[in-house]
Structure 1
Amino acid sequence: MGNALRLLYGQCCGEPPTTTTAHGGAGDQPLGHHGVSSSSVGVSALAQHLYHFEITSQVPEGLSKHVSSSKKAQSNWYKKLSKAWRESKPPPKTPEEASRLVIRILHTRQIADIQGLLSFYGLPLPHSLVELTGGDAPSVVDGLKFVLHTLPVDPRAVADGDGATVYVSTSDTRESSRVPPEIQMAAVERNEARAQRNFTKADKLLKQIKDAGYGVLHINNEEILARKYRIRLRGIDAPENAMPYGKEAKDELVRIIDGKCLKILIFDEDQYGRFVGDMYCNGIFVQKLMLKKGLAWHYTAYDKRPELAKWEKSARDKRIGLWASSNPEMPWEWRKNRRENR
C-alpha cells in the first residue's frame, strides 16, 4: 500500500525523501509555515504526509494546532485521504485539485476542521465553505439618498457578481406618490384588456409600462405593478462573466438573493443609470459575503471603507475563490484592455 502512494507521490511531486519529515527525524527537510516544507508546495507536503501515514499510521504533529478533532479522528481522515489519493487517476497535481479531494472526502466533518487542514498545507479554501454570517456591516455614512425594500428577486435578473435588477412595489410608501398617472391608468386598462381577452391591446400597454421603467410581477397569484431599479453593488468589483471566476461570482450572488426580498441603501447613480448601493439579504451584508468568499475585489477607486479592505484581505490570506490564482486579473484592467482592444 505504501509503495502505491510512493509511486503516486513521485508522479505528482518527485521522489519522496527516504527519511520522515513529519516528526523532525534525522535527515528531515526543515518545515516552514503551517508545517509545509519550505522547499515544497502544499500538494507535495500533503502527499508526503499521506505516504508517511501509510508506513507509520502517524499524522503530522503540528496538525493539532489547526484542528479541534482528536488524534484518532485525524488518523481516520488520513486513512481515507490516502486511499482516495491512491485511487485518483491522475493524483492531484495542483493546490486546487488537492483542496477538492480533501473536501470531497471530508465533507461530513466540521467546516473548521477542513479549513484547518487546508490551512496547515497552505491549500486554497473554496468559496463554498465560507459560511453565511450576519453583523459586522459598515456603519451608514453621509451620502445615503434613500432605501429600497424590494419584491422577491428573480434569479434571471442577476447580471453578474456585482449587479442585479430589482423591483419595488408601487404600494411602497416612497413609490406610491411617484407613479406617473399615465402608468397607473395603463395598468388598469391592461387588466381590463386581459379580462376581455384583448391580448394585443394588453401587450401594447405592458410595453408602455416597461418603457417607463416599471413592470408587472406575478407573485402569489397576484399581479403587482412595480418600479424597476438596476443595482450596482457599492464598493466591490466582481470578475466579469467572461473572466475566470466570473461565473462563480454570478452564481453565488444568485444563490444569496434568489427569491429574497432585499433592503438596499442607495448612495449614488453611475454613468450607466444604475443605482449604487449597499445590499442586505435577511440581515446579511451581501458585499461582505462576496468579498469573504473571494469572488470580488474591494473597489478602492470608489470606496475606501476599511471593513471591505479587511474582508478582501481575509479571502486573500486564505486563498479563497479567485485568490487561489497567483495573479488574478483585476476586472477594471480587464475592461480597460477590452476597450482598447488589447
Structure 2
Amino acid sequence: MKYILILILLLSGCGSNDPKVIGIIDGDTIKILQDGEEVKVRLAEIDCPERKQPFHTQAKKYTSELVFGKKVEIKNGGWDRYHRLIAIVILPDGRVLNKELVRAGYAWQYDDYSKDKSYGDLEEEARKAKKGLWLDKNPIPPWEFRKKKR
C-alpha cells in the first residue's frame, strides 16, 4: 500500500514538493526524498556497469554530478521486484538523466526492458565516438556480467 501511495503522489504531482535526490546507489539507481519518504528509483530503459565492472565508478560519479542534491521530475513508474520505482528522471534543465548516461557512454540501452528507439541511437553515437565504456574494445553488458556471477 505504501508503494501505491508514493507512486500516486509522484505521478500525479500532488506531492507538497518536488522529489529531491538524496543518494546515489549506483549509476542507474538513485534515492529520492518525496513528502518525507525515501524512495529508491531505478532508471528506466538503461543499464549501467555493475560493481567490479569497468566504468562502474565513473557511471556512479556522473550520475551524482548530474542529480545529487537536486530536485527532479519523475516520469512513468511501476515497481520492480526489489521495490524500486522504475522511472525516467528529468533534470532541472529539462534533460533526461537516463539518456544523458547513455549519451556519455556510461550505460547501455536495456534491450529487454526498453521500448524507446532513441536510446539505441544514443548508444550507437557513444560507441562510434568511443565515449566512456566504449573505450574498452569488448565491454560486457551488465546483464551478461550478472549471469556469469550466478
Alignment TM-score, normalising by the size of structure 1: 0.39
Work out whether 1:150 is the aligned partner of 2:19.
yes
How do 1:245-324 and structure 2 match up within 5 A? 245-282=55-92, 283-324=94-135
SS of residue matched to 2:87: strand
Once residues 332 and 302 of structure 1 are traced to their aligned partners in structure 2, the CA distance between those partners, rounded to angstroms, is 12
Amino acid in the other structure paired with 1:308: Y
Aligned to 1:117: none
Once residues 266 and 241 of structure 1 are traced to their aligned partners in structure 2, the CA distance between those partners, rounded to angstroms, is 27
Deviation at 1:235, TM superposition (A): 0.3
SS of residue matched to 1:279: strand
Q: Which has the higher strand share?
A: 2
Aligned to 1:337: 148
Amino acid in the other structure paired with 2:66: I
Once residues 265 and 329 of structure 1 are traced to their aligned partners in structure 2, the CA distance between those partners, rounded to angstroms, is 29
Percent identity over the alignment is 30
In structure 1, the gaps of 5 or more residues are 1-144, 170-225
Once residues 252 and 147 of structure 1 are traced to their aligned partners in structure 2, the CA distance between those partners, rounded to angstroms, is 29
Once residues 167 and 146 of structure 1 are traced to their aligned partners in structure 2, the CA distance between those partners, rounded to angstroms, is 14
Residues 147, 337 of structure 1: CA spacing in aligned structure 2 closer, same or farther, 3 A cutoff?
Answer: farther
Deviation at 1:147, TM superposition (A): 5.1
Aligned to 1:227: 37
Deviation at 1:229, TM superposition (A): 1.0
Amino acid in the other structure paired with 1:298: Q
Amino acid in the other structure paired with 2:128: D
Q: Which has the higher helix share?
A: 1
The answer to which structure, 1 or 2, has the higher relative contact order (CA under 8 A, 6+ apart) is 2
SS of residue matched to 2:82: coil
In structure 2, the gaps of 5 or more residues are 1-9
Deviation at 1:265, TM superposition (A): 1.1
Alignment TM-score, normalising by the size of structure 2: 0.86
User: Number of residues paired by the alignment?
Assistant: 136
Aligned to 1:327: 138
Alignment deviations for residues 140-188 of structure 1 (CA, whole Å, 9 cap, x no partner): xxxxx9256303x23xx2110000111112xxxxxxxxxxxxxxxxxxx
Aligned mate of 1:161, from 18, 21, 27: 27
Residues 315, 277 of structure 1: CA spacing in aligned structure 2 closer, same or farther, 3 A cutoff?
Answer: same
